[in-house]
Structure 1
Amino acid sequence: MYLIFSICASTLIFVIFKVIGKRNINTLQTIVFNYFTAFTCGILSYDSPVIIEDIISSKWFFGAIGLGFLFIAIFNVMALTAQRIGLSVASVASKMSVVIPIIFGLFVYNESLGWQKGIGIILALVAVYLASHKEKTNARFSIKSLWLPIILFLGSGTIDTSIKYLETTYVADNGIPIFSATIFFIAGLIGIGLLSAKAIQKTFTFDPKSVVAGVILGIVNYYSIYMLLKALNADNFESSTIFTVNNVAIVMLSTLLGLALFKERLLPKNWIGIGVAILSILLVTLA
């Protein structure tokens, strides 16, 4: 059940971004409110007293600052990818980033690289291109159509790798909620800084709808991570099985919702890309 909830929540993030774009809700303001909501969820989930001095002196604190910058930057890229190119493209690009922590593990944790894992990594890169390339009638291909999913791919992989490294090396077992809350809070502060800069430049207009959208997105965002961590703690499933089912289900469900809810049209090469993406996830994760 935890895994099912995680899959639904993660997929819902892409749907929310798509709805935000269609209803012309301010994306940046929504993301800022989202992070403060996710921060609140993390604080409420923490079962120990919150001591600011302990947080600042923690070995993971500076890593959390860096992740805060990445979170808000990549969340913006994810929103733009879903709105401009499609749900399935955003989903595939972010989920294919699983190859980055795997490559990191080869060098840092001395993991082996077999033929199955190597082929999976190559196929992942091919899948991102095929799923992202959407042609227009009488239009020639432009590399400009690829920069959003590529940045999303690299950024998501960097975030996953950093979180894994910090949690494994510095974060205590009961410190995950406060660690996550700190990242969300820093990302929210950065967002406030961006909105303040817009206000100074007199380009800021408050969007009341972004408050509601941000609260909804923040709750979904926090619990998509929380539920996945709970699923990984289950004794009757291996983590490789959890990650495989989670990633493949999100890609497939995002594609189906994109077709059903938003009438997204996919080219044959996009369908091939999604198929290759699923295959590459299976190869890499089960290697």
Structure 2
Amino acid sequence: MIVLALSILSSTMIFVVFKLFSRFKINTMHAIVFNYVTACFCGIIFQKNAVDIAAIPNYSWFPFALGLGVLFITVFNLMAITTQRSGLSVVSVATKMSVVIPILFGLLYYKENLGVFKIVGIILALIAVYLASIKTNDGLKIKPSNFIFPILVFLGSGIIDTTLKYLEGEFIAKNDIPIFSATIYGMAAIIGFFILIFQASKGDFQFQFKNLLGGIALGIPNYFSVYFLVQALRSGIFDSSGVFTVNNVAIVMISTVLGILLFKEKLLFKNWIGIGLAILGIVLIAFEKW
């Protein structure tokens, strides 16, 4: 339970840091690249065994880690495009509703149990994500020409979580979680630097120290969000469908509360209903386990 709580806390801190980016006018793309470098170094630092960089390609999970690195930065850019075209609420819903994909994977591939309490809990959790994420009375408004972007965010986020679960169960040794995470973030950082080099060639890149600091502030919780999520998946507190549901819904719930406390956000009545349903959904999932 502790590692799951730490995963939720780490992911929630990512939300807080992103909110501070706009306040301090930090270039999000530049900070994201520095964030991946920071997360990569965190993985190397926290790897208990001696790290032989040359031997990393020999790990069975290496090709998957490279693919995840590509997905990480690709999904981020899709999230940025979706935010610009359809708003932050659309991104929030698409990202968190993607929990459906790893839930279905766990139920079908690992034959996880699906009792009545768990079914009701998952349904309530999904409704809660929607209600807590929509901060306008009009709901979600997406132009038909922009509809592909939240779909891609939904699929990309779901594939990332599903792949993490699959690799955790099949390939990653307990002591290799840090170096596995470092490899993912290292690949994302390399792609990010190519993007920055391309921007610099067009004269669009300007280094600012605050973007570096923003990247460091984001990279630390970003690393631990993956590290503790993998630990939670193998902790046995819930099966994978329960872990992903509780993790995602709790992030939305706590992020919403922090939005009120730290950023003076105003919540609609349906947002409060979403928070209540989130709590009820988590209780039902926990009751199914115990």
TM-score category, normalised to shorter length: 0.7 to 0.9
- Aligned residue number for residue 218 of structure 2: 217
Matched, 1:191 2:162: no
The root-mean-square deviation of aligned C-alpha atoms, in Å, is 3.5
Deviations 1:195-214 (A, max 9, x none): 12222233222232110111
Correspondences of 1:235-246 after superposition (within 5 Å): 238-239=237-238
Give the % identical residues.
Answer: 54
- Asked if the contact 2:177–2:227 (Cα under 8 Å) also holds between the matched residues in 1, the reply is no
Instruction: Give the 3-state SS of the residue equivalent to 1:194 in structure 2.
Output: helix
Q: Which residue of the partner structure matches residue 254 of structure 1? A: 255
- Distance verdict in 2 for CA 1:239–1:132, change over 3 Å: closer
Q: Structure 1 regions of 5+ residues with no counterpart?
A: none
Q: Which amino acid aligns with 1:160?
A: D
Which residue is 2:11 aligned to? Answer: 10
> Residue 92 of structure 1 contacts residue 131 of structure 1 at CA under 8 Å; is this kept in 2?
no
Do the aligned partners of 1:69 and 1:190 also contact (CA within 8 Å) in 2?
yes
Q: CA deviation at 1:152?
A: 4.9
Query: In structure 2, what is the equivalent of residue 142 of structure 1?
Result: 141
- 1:121–1:284 contact (8 Å) kept in structure 2: yes
Q: How many residue pairs were aligned?
A: 281
Aligned with 1:25: secondary structure? coil
Q: How does 1:106-185 map to 2 (within 5 A)?
A: 106-135=107-136, 142-144=141-143, 152-185=153-186
- What is the TM-score when the length of structure 2 is the normalising length? 0.79
Query: 8 Å contact 2:3–2:228 — kept in the other structure?
Result: yes
1:56 pairs with 2:57: yes
Given residue 143 of structure 1, which amino acid in structure 2 is its aligned partner?
I
User: Tell me, which stretches of 5 or more residues in structure 2 are unaligned?
Assistant: none
Aligned to 1:85: 88
Do the aligned partners of residues 264 and 82 (structure 1) sit closer, same or farther apart at CA in structure 2, a change above 3 Å counting? farther
Q: Please tell me whether the aligned partners of residues 14 and 91 of structure 1 are also in contact (alpha carbons under 8 angstroms).
A: no
Seen in structure 2, the aligned counterparts of structure 1 residues 141 and 177 have a Cα distance that, compared at 3 Å, is closer
Q: Residue 143 of structure 1: SS of its match in structure 2?
A: coil
Amino acid at match of 1:238: I
Q: In 2, distance between residues paired with 1:149 and 1:277?
A: 22
In the alignment, is the contact (CA less than 8 A) between 1:132 and 1:270 conserved in 2? yes
The 8 Å contact of residues 247 and 281 in structure 1, kept in 2 or not, is answered as no
Q: Secondary structure at the match of 2:99?
A: helix
1:42 & 1:282 partners in 2: Cα distance?
Answer: 33
Structure 1 stretch 160-169 or stretch 119-128: which is displaced more?
A: 119-128
Rounded Cα–Cα distance in structure 2 between residues aligned with 1:214 and 1:132: 25
| CA–CA separation in structure 2 for the residues paired with 1:21 and 1:13 | 13
Q: Find the aligned partners of 1:147 and 1:281 in 2 and give their Cα distance.
A: 31
Note if 1:69 corresponds to 2:74: no
Give, in angstroms, the shift of residue 222 of structure 1: 1.7
CA offsets 1:153-205 (integer angstroms, 9 cap, x no match): 54333212101101211122221111111001001111112212222233222
Query: 1:102, 1:278 → 2: CA distance?
Result: 19
Q: Residue 24 of structure 1 aligns with which residue?
A: 25
